[in-house]
Amino acid sequence: MRFWALLLGIMTAIGLSVGIYFTQATPLYVATEPVLERGGNADRGRGIFFAGGCASCHATPGQSDPLKLGGGLELKSPYGSFFAPNISPDPDDGIGRWSTTDLVNAMQAGVSPQGEHYFPAFPYTTYAHAKVEDIRDLMAYLRTLEPVRGRAPAHTLKFPFSIRRAVGVWKALYFDRSPINPDPAQTDEWNRGRYLVEALGHCAECHSARDLLGGIESRYRYAGGPDVEGHGWVPNITQHKDGIGDFSKSDIVALLKTGELPEADSVSGAMMAVVRNMAKLSDDDLSAMAEFLKSLSARPSPPKPPK
């Protein structure tokens, strides 16, 4: 009996250790990094802000100023409702007391200044590929904006998806922080476009189908899928016949800049907010994004459920 009790104790200890390892929130930096706190170009940060679509989620609903970042937008999902937080420079309700290191940990590790996991409704799974210097510039720009009072409501999630520590297991399954290194076989424009699409623009976050746990299915990456908020179907943006295979590079630039589609139609829904952000980018950056999108391999869209 002693042997079995000892074995049970050892197995329990191992199980607890593994559980703690996989569920703990681990920041990239455990203290304020002096190199991150020095400098920061707010003008460049403005471009990062719009490329990253920050206003689409964090602008206060019900007003027209995209730079009033009081949060509060409800993001519905199969797991419950997420509410985008206040990221204005307000010291009490926003991120006014945050260091740049805090922002890097949030965007590249999905960890809050309090040492908790962020839910991946915040697309840190994509922002993790961004350059640290770009996040430093973004913080410099955010600090120039108007502080907004008020906090967003708390998330209302179904159990067990409400357990933050469980996000650690999700990260072990899906979170890849690998940097996006330039491909020497490609042009500078293509590499710039890839960075904008796959790191800052986080296009795959919406234009990909997901599995039951919310992870992107690799076979449907960029191939569209059901809108997680239940608003229809997000389109395929690969070169497949169901996607944008017939779009020219100039068609894609026009779509990103004006929202106009080649068939004399225009985008709608959440993509309208994306266009408002993309329209702030330079023509060179939009052309680079189009160059990369034209190179995506054709992938069929996932099957739609029967009506």
Could you list the residue range(s) of the whole structural domain that residue 98 is in?
A: 28-166
Q: Integer distance in angstroms from the first to the last C-alpha of the chain?
A: 59
Q: How far apart are CA 296 and CA 237, in angstroms?
A: 8
Judged by DSSP in three states, 103 sits in: helix
- Domain assignment present for 232: yes
- Domain assignment present for 120: yes
Do 192 and 132 fall into the same domain? Answer: no
Q: For the CA atoms of the chain, what is the radius of gyration?
A: 21
CB within 8 Å of 53: residues ≥ 6 apart:
201, 202, 273, 274, 277
Do 58 and 134 fall into the same domain? Answer: yes
Condensed to tens digits (0 to 9), the pLDDT of residues 21-63 reads 456 778 878 888 887 888 899 999 999 999 999 999 999 998 8
- Domain assignment present for 115: yes
Which residues, in sequence order, are bridge partners of residue 260? 266
Residue of higher predicted confidence among 158 and 271: 158
120-136 b/e with 16+ CB inside 10 Å = b? bbbbbbbbbbbebebbb
Query: Is the pLDDT reported for residue 2 higher than 80?
Result: no
pTM above 0.75, yes or no: yes
Q: Which of 9-18, 103-112, 160-169 has the lowest mean pLDDT?
A: 9-18
Task: Say how many C-beta atoms besides its own lie within 10 A of residue 208's C-beta.
Answer: 23
- Domain assignment present for 36: yes
Condensed to tens digits (0 to 9), the pLDDT of residues 212-268 reads 888 899 999 999 888 877 778 889 999 988 888 888 999 999 999 998 888 767 777
